[in-house]
Amino acid sequence: MPPCPWYYLVLVVVVLVLPVWGFNLEPRESYIFSYPEKEVQSQGREPYFGFSVALQKQHLDGPAWLVVGAPRANSSLQFSSVIEPGAVFKCPLQNQGQCQELLIRDEGVFEVRQGTGEPLLIASNHGWLGGYLDTQPTSRNDRQTTVVCAPRWINSYDYGYIHHMTGACYYLDLSLGNMSATKLRILDEIGKDTFGQLGFAVHFPEDPSEVLFGVPNYFKGRGTMVKYKDRQWNPNPNHSSRRRRQSSLPARFTTSIVPKPIYTPEVEEDDYMGYAITSGNYSDSQKLLYAAGSPKANSTLGEVIIFSFPQDNGLPLAVVQVLVGKHFGGNFGSALTSPDINGDGLSDLVVGVPMFSDNTYPDMGAITVYLSSQGELVESSDHYGARVSLGRFGTTLTSLGDLNADGYEDICVGAPFEESGAVYIFLGSAGGLRTTHSQRLIPEHFTGIPAMKGFGMALSRGIDVDDNAYPDLAIGSFLSGHAVVIRSRPVAKLESSISTTPPSITVEDKHFTMVACIQYGGYKVPTQLDIIGTITLDPLLSRTVFNDTKTQVRDFNHTLTLNGTNSNCLNYNIRVKKDEPINPHEPIVITLDYKVAESPTQSYVSQPIADPTTTKSVTFHVKIVTGCETDGNDTCHTDLRLETGFLLTGSKDKLVIGSENPVFEVNVYNEGEPAYLPNMTVKVEPPMALFLPSTHNCNFSDPGQRTSLVCRLSNPISKDKQDTVQVTLDGSQLTDTLSEVGVRVSVMADGMEVQPQDNIVNNALQLEAQPDLRMHGYSQADQIPFALDEKGNINSTGVTTVKHTIAVLKEGPTPVGQMELNITIPIRFRGTDQNFVHIFNPFTSFVEQRVSCQLFGAEFAVGSSEDQGDSHGAHGLETIGKPDHMQPQHGEGGERKDTWFSSRKIGGALNCSRVDLVECARVSCSLNSWPRDTTAATIELGLAINMSILSWHMSPETGIVLQSTARAVILSFNPHLTITGKRTATILVGTQIQPESPMGAGVPWWVILLAVLGGLLLLGLLAYGLYKAGFFHRKEHEEMKSQRAMVQPAATSVEAEQ
């Protein structure tokens, strides 16, 4: 199935009743005809089969035909040497047989000898026979005449030396049989203009004894109309049909009236009046008037002249009204039709403007509608197609009759150059032509044939060819050589309604019943009709369900009875959800959508289709009463009041930053009328955030920030009732820069608040910080030994590297925004210019953050502490010597003399507190954003100690302890923040520099000898004392020896006896 334009898809979704084709013209079961194959071989170029079409139906249950003109066809029934005279074909609709050419015998064809002696056939060459045709809309007394014209037919005089393109027209009787058509008298024969092109337009009025022809090139392009009329048409009803037909045929269209446009001041040269013609009862239902289009009149604005014919030839038109176009070059008046659009019994007028252009789409085309009003035609509206460039919407027009049986006649508009061509159906109404077309037909809707082109160049009148009481339509597609007959489907009038019991509910009601009824009517429709549909409950708010299925949407199928009552109704029980809030100002909405169900066993054209102008979707609102109506006013006067507080652990009144997530409790009281749809809003400022409560339906207003939430409270909060909500605050991102956080809560409900001032409360939660800093440190290595020479002087040179590691610990839950760590290290003795300590860039470890450290009072040493080893591995640093005034001086006997600071050999701790002795450098490190769960930051500081310099000032007896002083302080605390714990910490980290062994004067030899002799004497005295005390005489040992001697002889005697 081909895709439909977007506006049809919208109708399908919203209304659910229109088929993909739009309305009741059914293209899926069309009669499709093409140019007969046997004629193709003789055809040099496109025959334009389908340039004109007409439907003919004899009588009820009688045969029907499609008449098709092919104005560039080569005829198989006329002289074979005539070039493209044109042809007319009769296509039967009963068995869809092949189209047959109708015999239009032209006795005026004759030969003309040229200078070469070759014959030339003049009269019908390129005559465009079948370019324009029409058939009487109804068969009356066995009379239904079809007229075909050849507007380019040439009349010749003086043996072919004078040629007049007068045009020629022919009429055929009801049967469209094999008899030759009857030719109407040409204009030359009645002494009129010889280049008028009679038959450029043809039209049958309601009067069956008349036929009108347009002659647009008459009298220098002024144009005129010719009316042919029966001399006398009054067949005897007692005669047989054949006899009546034979007696009436010679009298048909034997008199003519040709007005003289030169005497009509409204008509000028090159107006081309008669380009299109129509007729209607525009001012009086008993008076027939005529309309003729003049597309080049009024400087190409175009005109349509409403007139009546004079009583005789040569007289001016009796002009009643002139309609003028609004756009230059729009071809206003090139197509006309006269339906009764608004059903007032008078004819209205539709004018085609196929070359209308706007600023965007050239030649997109338009139509203008004029409605009859108080004796004249008044412009009503303009209409457009798909707005396609060069589409020429309005090239052709036709009246369909009442297509949907609503009492208003409808029209069809052709746009043959809109892509491959398109045809639009517009429906009439009491207010005029409906704004939007009801159906758009395009070649893609027809299957089983090659793509059609030029679709919509020809449109027939609306004629019922299948006896279903609805008009059908024929459409020509001249560029591809096709003609189609589209039949219409019966139209079902469907009206639906919904009612509930009770008609309104309260918020306490949980059940009600609904009844959905669909009334079925229509003209010539079946007695029963199957429909399918959907009932949707509260589609936006979803507060109700069907009680039996527990669903919100229910599909159904039902058989309707024509003009039935109770049999066309459906009953359902509805339940209101308990957990859904009820807004008394949002009634419960019930929608009913339905469409006609198509049967796969029946043809499409036999099945009714729903009229799009009647309701196919109905919406019903169930009102909700509030209980506030007792004072005659539906508005509820509420009196809401807030009480709030923070729930903290224990009895604390302040929140320790980082310790917990506090709970904020809100109590909402109502002391007025019921409060419907109460909402509570809680807002905090970042970095505080919120968690959604689990007890109420709450949602964040800013999901990314979580700083604002809205909760739906109990609905309603009745008088003297309350609702409580506990909201947990997310304090995980709080920092020490704040001293308090604000919480704002507000409440509102539907209705009018009596005291709005107590509906908003601002709360401040006081904060407290517990940072509690601690520090640890150690030296690696913890000792540096040095050697002494034989005179007790320090004999140690070179560079030794040590590391001072400092750990800063943050105890307590509060995160720290910024902390500064300063480490001071003695680097040189005051008054000197060389450093005995060089500092390497420190290594830091702090939650994968880069710690920035700076050195003040010195410069970082090149390399790192990892590159430095013992005194033999200090790269480059061991070359640092002493200035000349610091070199040792040796006197007589080789003794060293201190010439600088010799009286001040220092010992003990050497740190930056000894400002009189040393100058210091300071390492300053900044730590930012110390998270809550991070406990320590570590800094390793490498020091290169130059013993060559240090030994000159260090006591050889005791050495020194080289100490670095570290101090940490938190900088980011808000000055108004309460702080418990330590925000500063200090530590000393020292390295012991000491001699390898203590210094001494030695022990004399005689002291050692006396000590040995004294020890031996003491040992001898101790042994003698023990002997005298019996220590070496053991009594138990002697007794054991005697007992053993007694046992051995006894054992020997026993062995001898054995």
What pLDDT, in 10s, does the model give residues 462-472? 999 999 999 99
Same domain for 456 and 541, yes or no, is no
- Among the candidates 716, 741, 768, a domain finishes at 768
The one-letter amino acid code at 368 reads: T
Strand 752-753 vs strand 637-638: parallel, antiparallel, or unpaired? parallel
Query: CA 205 → CA 259, 291, 826, distances in Å?
Result: 18, 11, 124
Give the mean pLDDT of the chain: 83
What are residue 201's phi and psi, to 5 degrees? -140, 145
- The widest CA-to-CA distance across the chain, in whole angstroms, is 194
Give the start-end residues of each E strand in 626-675: 637-638, 640-647, 655-656, 663-670
Same domain for 856 and 801, yes or no, is yes
Within a domain: residue 816?
Answer: yes
- Given CA atoms 12, 16, 18, 19 in this order, what sign does their dihedral have? positive
The partner residues of 936 in beta bridges, in order of sequence, read 809
Same domain for 941 and 861, yes or no, is yes
Closest C-alpha to 607, from 617, 616, 597, 615 = 597
Q: Which of 173-177, 334-338, 893-897 has the highest mean pLDDT?
A: 334-338
Question: What is the pLDDT at residue 789?
Answer: 81
Residue 712: give its domain's CATH number. 2.60.40.1510
Rounded mean pLDDT of 314-334?
Answer: 94
d(CA 37, CA 76): 12
pLDDT bucket at 975, cuts 50 / 70 / 90: confident
Rounded mean pLDDT of 666-673?
Answer: 93
Same domain for 667 and 800, yes or no, is no
Same domain for 452 and 498, yes or no, is no
Within a domain: residue 582?
Answer: yes
Within a domain: residue 1029?
Answer: no
759-795: pLDDT as tens digits: 999 999 988 888 888 999 999 878 888 888 878 788 8
Which tokens hold the place of 258? 């040709």
124-150: pLDDT as tens digits: 778 899 999 999 887 666 678 899 998
Q: Which of 152-166, 572-586, 752-766, 883-897 has the lowest mean pLDDT?
A: 883-897
Percentage with pLDDT > 90 across the chain: 47
Question: What is the pLDDT at residue 518?
Answer: 92
Structural domain of residue 132, as residue ranges? 25-235+248-488
Q: Is the pLDDT of residue 519 over 80?
A: yes
Same domain for 77 and 109, yes or no, is yes
What count of other Cβ atoms lies within 10 Å of the Cβ of residue 314? 13
pLDDT bucket at 942, cuts 50 / 70 / 90: very high
Same domain for 729 and 842, yes or no, is no
- Among the candidates 719, 753, 768, a domain finishes at 768
Residue 929: give its domain's CATH number. 2.60.40.1530
d(CA 44, CA 42): 7
d(CA 867, CA 855): 20
pLDDT bucket at 935, cuts 50 / 70 / 90: confident
d(CA 269, CA 865): 112
Q: Is the pLDDT of residue 1036 over 70?
A: no
The one-letter amino acid code at 523 reads: Y
Same domain for 879 and 777, yes or no, is yes
Query: CA 42 → CA 39, 88, 122, 131, 563, distances in Å?
Result: 6, 16, 19, 19, 58
Closest C-alpha to 912, from 803, 826, 987 = 826
Neighbouring residues of 545: CB distance < 8 A, sequence distance ≥ 6: 537, 551, 552, 574, 575, 577
- Among the candidates 724, 750, 768, a domain finishes at 768
Within a domain: residue 608?
Answer: yes
Q: Which of 119-123, 132-136, 831-835 has the lowest mean pLDDT?
A: 119-123
Which tokens hold the place of 349? 């007028």
Query: CA 1024 → CA 357, 1016, 1034, distances in Å?
Result: 149, 13, 16
Within a domain: residue 690?
Answer: yes
Question: What is the pLDDT at residue 160?
Answer: 55
Closest C-alpha to 760, from 693, 668, 646, 674 = 668
Element counts in the chain: helices (H) and strands (E): 8, 69
708-724: pLDDT as tens digits: 999 999 888 888 999 99
Distance of CA 896 to the CA centre of its chain: 96
Question: What is the pLDDT at residue 950?
Answer: 87
d(CA 258, CA 264): 13
Q: Which residues of 768-778 are buried (b: 16+ CB within 10 A; e: fewer)?
A: bbbbbbbbebe
Q: Is the pLDDT of residue 424 over 90?
A: yes
Within a domain: residue 1007?
Answer: no
Residue 163: give its domain's CATH number. 2.130.10.130
Rounded mean pLDDT of 218-231?
Answer: 88
Report how many domains make up the chain.
4
Within a domain: residue 1042?
Answer: no
Question: What is the pLDDT at residue 874?
Answer: 40
Question: What is the pLDDT at residue 877?
Answer: 45
Rounded mean pLDDT of 856-865?
Answer: 82
Same domain for 612 and 656, yes or no, is no
Which tokens hold the place of 327? 């756009």
Same domain for 744 and 791, yes or no, is no
The partner residues of 910 in beta bridges, in order of sequence, read 962
Percent of the chain that is helix, strand, coil (3-state, to 5): 10, 40, 45
Same domain for 924 and 947, yes or no, is yes
Same domain for 748 and 824, yes or no, is no
d(CA 836, CA 802): 13
Q: Which of 27-36, 110-119, 533-542, 802-811 has the lowest mean pLDDT?
A: 110-119
Neighbouring residues of 306: CB distance < 8 A, sequence distance ≥ 6: 282, 289, 290, 291, 319, 320, 321, 322, 323, 349, 377
Percentage with pLDDT > 70 across the chain: 83
Q: Is the pLDDT of residue 967 over 60?
A: yes
**More confidently predicted of 244 and 848:** 848
**More confidently predicted of 782 and 891:** 782
Within a domain: residue 1004?
Answer: no
**More confidently predicted of 294 and 957:** 294
Question: What is the pLDDT at residue 594?
Answer: 93
Please state the three-class secondary structure of 143-195 as a single string.
ECCEEEEECCCCEEECCCCEEECCCEEEEECCCCCCCCCEECCCHHHHCCCCC
Q: Is the pLDDT of residue 654 over 80?
A: yes
57-105: pLDDT as tens digits: 877 777 889 999 999 998 877 666 778 889 999 999 987 778 998 888 6
Neighbouring residues of 57: CB distance < 8 A, sequence distance ≥ 6: 63, 64, 139, 144, 463, 464, 465
Distance of CA 248 to the CA centre of its chain: 70
Neighbouring residues of 782: CB distance < 8 A, sequence distance ≥ 6: 991, 992
3-state secondary structure of 711: strand
261-298: pLDDT as tens digits: 888 899 999 999 999 999 999 999 899 999 999 999 99
Question: What is the pLDDT at residue 1035?
Answer: 65
